[in-house]
Structure 1
Amino acid sequence: MAHPTTLPPPLSPAPPRRRWWTDRVGYLAAGWASLYGVLALVWTISGSGYPYGTADPHGAVSLLRFLPPGVGAPVLAVLSITVAVAALAMAGPQAVRLRGVARVLLSTYCAMVAVILLVVVPDVQVLTTTGYAPLLIVGAPFGWPPVDYADVFTWALANKVFAMVGGVLLARTALVWLFRTGGWCLSCGRGAAGRSWTSAESAARWGRWATYVAAAIPLLYAVSRLAWLANIPLGISADFLREMWDNGMVWAGSGLAAFAVVGAVLTLGLVQRWGERFPRWMIGLSGRRVPIMLAVAPATLVAIAVTAAGLSLYSSPELWRPGALSFTTVPMLLWPLWGIALGAAALAYHLRRRGACAHCAP
């Protein structure tokens, strides 16, 4: 296994590109918040359509499962409207410039709302649907697995994904605003932090450990599901395993296990040479550089979904009843750690490969 610090140095920086994303992300966040604020107001006035809490049929394992529409809808409306105003204030080169307590309060509020949208509103349904998606897509023409797709791709799921989109937009808006008003580089953030841990050499060190942790946890999850496929009742009773064979759920479990194994292997690519240049067997891409965002974007999205799923599982009373903890459930308790480690690994990969900034490098 190649040590990450032995990888070839990044290529010379590309010519500066227009900052379309950094200049407009605030307006996109404001547009998202305005749209969701209108929807929340409609839900508040009409009393129907609210997708979370007690109104979510799949929300039994959710941090919001006890939140009634009469409370959740107006609270969401207020949050969305205030976020729209804040995002507009932070958007573009003409963003307001605050100092001291006002700056801290605005950035803290946006950070808190972004966290709510990213890991509190979503729940295990997002990760479960993502894991089953390949199986559902491949099996759809053959009528397997025998599920009603309307029960899988629900209105609540669409809103959870939409909330995650808003969280990403708001987090990026706040970060760009802090960079811009702090006099830091909008592209790389240089000046926002010391270069001790953000340097390529440092990121290669701490990113390696984050990557190994992020790869190990899904493998632990996969072990029990693959054991069931081998007819070994690991973490469950023999009767329950027979029932899973009878209804075909063991194949769904093996599909999730395969998804976890593939994810673990791809995670290791964040510190391997083939994670920077496509391997030889990939005809047409062999030897070419792997685009940084091709690795960072999916890793970040999975990290968010895994963290949200893990936190929602912690709120489930069923998980803490006597006898519930087993080799099947314990790896799921590590999902928040998995998400944090995967996010850190993706960040380290970005820091290690970004090279000199084309906007602020000498």
Structure 2
Amino acid sequence: MLSRWPAWVGYAASAWSLLYAALGLFWTFGGAGFPFGAGHDPEPLESILGGLPRTTAAPVIAGFGLIGTVVALASTRPGALRRPGRNAALRILVLGFAALSAVALLVVIPDRRLLMIVAYAPILAGMGLWVLLTGSDLPTIANLGLWTLTHQVGSVLGGLVWAGVAVSFARRKRAACVRCGRGDQTPAWTTSAAAARWGRWAVGVAVVVPLVYAATRWAWALGIRLGISEEFYQQGRANNIWWAGAALATLAIGGAVLTLGLAQRWGETYPRLVWFRAGRRVPPALAIVPASLVSIIVTSAGLEYLRLMFRPEFQENSWATMGPELLWPLWGVALAAATLAYHLRRRGACADCGRG
């Protein structure tokens, strides 16, 4: 079913939009569970929509859902948009709505709390033994809010199906294969040789940025006050924050190493280190799926840091503590590009059109 995604993604986007139209109407008339703003979101400062009142946002959500339902259904019938009387402007509007919806739902509405829950889950599990042995306290993290996180996961799912709508509709519009995107005139940059060239640059950027972040966190854990005041350093030391940051930095280093696999031989064939699979082919989805999801949550977190950096609440230590995170949108985009290059290099002949 996943391999046939162009056939059903428009209907999935329509169903998702209809659900959010219903939720928007429910919230408009006072229903519980509105996910944004003070009194609903436990940390409204985290969200770009945290300052929106329900009386304004809920009707907008309902309208967006209703329009999206219609547009998603229209995208499943691109032939109808080419009938006499249907001009190119309408096709551009459908494609533009799908693309903008995907960007907003994937990286604008979600915030860094998605990244926090993904990153801290293995760290907190691993630090459980340390707590038992030392009797120390785990670092306190923000009140993430279960329903807020649930809504953000729903936003990402909606963004993925809307991205699928945009891609499939664009392919149909230019008479290309909806499954692989190849047509009679395949763009030169999508060839395997071209993707190998520009993919290496993308991998390089996607490796360097997390290493910059990791260097600052390990410096603080090792007692080097890199860009922060003595008072701030001692506060973090008393709360075990710097070692929690070092654990996150270690995950970032591990992610950077795995990112190298998108441009290395061992990213296509299991190395001898993985003895039980050595020499066998690495399934492309094993790299593409997690790398794509990480690129999404890293980009959304980085965009939040860009927004928060210039708020008056952040003081002298903000540039040191948040400076590396300002590069995260670049990291996310580079990782997405590296993942795309990996896909282009590893895709074989299309099962539908036969092009290879």
- TM-score (ref. length: structure 1): 0.87
Work out the CA distance in 1 between the residues paired with 2:144 and 2:125.
12
Deviations 1:193-228 (A, max 9, x none): 743100011111111001100110011001111112
- Could you say which residue in structure 1 is the equivalent of 2:337? 344
Work out the CA distance in 2 between the residues paired with 1:191 and 1:139.
52
State whether structure 2 residue 227 is matched by structure 1 residue 229: no
- Could you say which residue in structure 2 is the equivalent of 1:59? 44
State which of 93, 96, 100 in structure 2 corresponds to 1:108: 96
Work out the CA distance in 1 between the residues paired with 2:22 and 2:109.
18
**In the alignment, is the contact (CA less than 8 A) between 1:224 and 1:235 conserved in 2?**
no
Deviations 1:232-275 (A, max 9, x none): 12122222222222222222111211111111111111101111
The AA in structure 2 aligned to 1:130 is V
State which of 40, 43, 59 in structure 1 corresponds to 2:27: 43
State which of 267, 273, 285 in structure 1 corresponds to 2:277: 285
**In the alignment, is the contact (CA less than 8 A) between 1:58 and 1:125 conserved in 2?**
no
| CA 355–160 in structure 1, closer or farther in 2 if over 3 Å, else same | same
| CA 74–185 in structure 1, closer or farther in 2 if over 3 Å, else same | same
The AA in structure 2 aligned to 1:60 is L
SS at match of 2:277: coil
SS at match of 2:224: coil
- Could you say which residue in structure 2 is the equivalent of 1:5? none
Q: CA deviation at 1:147?
A: 5.3
Deviations 1:118-141 (A, max 9, x none): 111111211222221211344568
State whether structure 2 residue 122 is matched by structure 1 residue 130: no
**In the alignment, is the contact (CA less than 8 A) between 1:122 and 1:308 conserved in 2?**
yes
State which of 70, 78, 102 in structure 1 corresponds to 2:63: 78
Work out the CA distance in 2 between the residues paired with 1:119 and 1:112.
11
State which of 299, 318, 328 in structure 1 corresponds to 2:321: 328
Deviations 1:94-142 (A, max 9, x none): 8743451110011101111111111111112112222212113445686
Work out the CA distance in 1 between the residues paired with 2:116 and 2:42.
15
Identity %: 44
Structure 1, 190-199 or 226-235: larger mean CA deviation: 190-199
The AA in structure 1 aligned to 2:257 is V
**In the alignment, is the contact (CA less than 8 A) between 2:213 and 2:325 conserved in 1?**
yes
**In the alignment, is the contact (CA less than 8 A) between 2:267 and 2:282 conserved in 1?**
yes
State whether structure 2 residue 187 is matched by structure 1 residue 202: no
Deviations 1:304-350 (A, max 9, x none): 11111111222223489674553432211111111111111110111
SS at match of 2:45: coil
State whether structure 2 residue 179 is matched by structure 1 residue 187: yes
State whether structure 2 residue 274 is matched by structure 1 residue 274: no
Q: CA deviation at 1:77?
A: 1.3
Paired residues for 1:19-30 under 5 Å = 19-30=3-14
Gapped runs of 5+ residues in structure 2?
A: none
Deviations 1:276-331 (A, max 9, x none): 11111213211111111111111111111111111122222348967455343221
SS at match of 2:62: helix
The AA in structure 1 aligned to 2:198 is W
| CA 315–53 in structure 1, closer or farther in 2 if over 3 Å, else same | farther
**In the alignment, is the contact (CA less than 8 A) between 2:4 and 2:179 conserved in 1?**
no
The AA in structure 2 aligned to 1:360 is C
Greater relative contact order (CA < 8 Å, ≥ 6 in sequence): 1
The AA in structure 2 aligned to 1:22 is P
Work out the CA distance in 2 between the residues paired with 1:135 and 1:32.
33
| CA 319–226 in structure 1, closer or farther in 2 if over 3 Å, else same | farther
Work out the CA distance in 2 between the residues paired with 1:330 and 1:192.
46
SS at match of 1:328: helix
Work out the CA distance in 2 between the residues paired with 1:323 and 1:94.
54
- Could you say which residue in structure 1 is the equivalent of 2:146? 154
The AA in structure 2 aligned to 1:240 is F
**In the alignment, is the contact (CA less than 8 A) between 2:42 and 2:144 conserved in 1?**
no
The AA in structure 1 aligned to 2:334 is A
Work out the CA distance in 2 between the residues paired with 1:104 and 1:64.
28
Work out the CA distance in 2 between the residues paired with 1:243 and 1:67.
34
Work out the CA distance in 1 between the residues paired with 2:175 and 2:110.
34
Task: Give the total of aligned pairs.
Answer: 344
**In the alignment, is the contact (CA less than 8 A) between 2:78 and 2:173 conserved in 1?**
no
| CA 262–109 in structure 1, closer or farther in 2 if over 3 Å, else same | same
Gapped runs of 5+ residues in structure 1?
A: 1-16
| CA 148–325 in structure 1, closer or farther in 2 if over 3 Å, else same | closer
Q: CA deviation at 1:57?
A: 2.0
**In the alignment, is the contact (CA less than 8 A) between 2:75 and 2:165 conserved in 1?**
yes
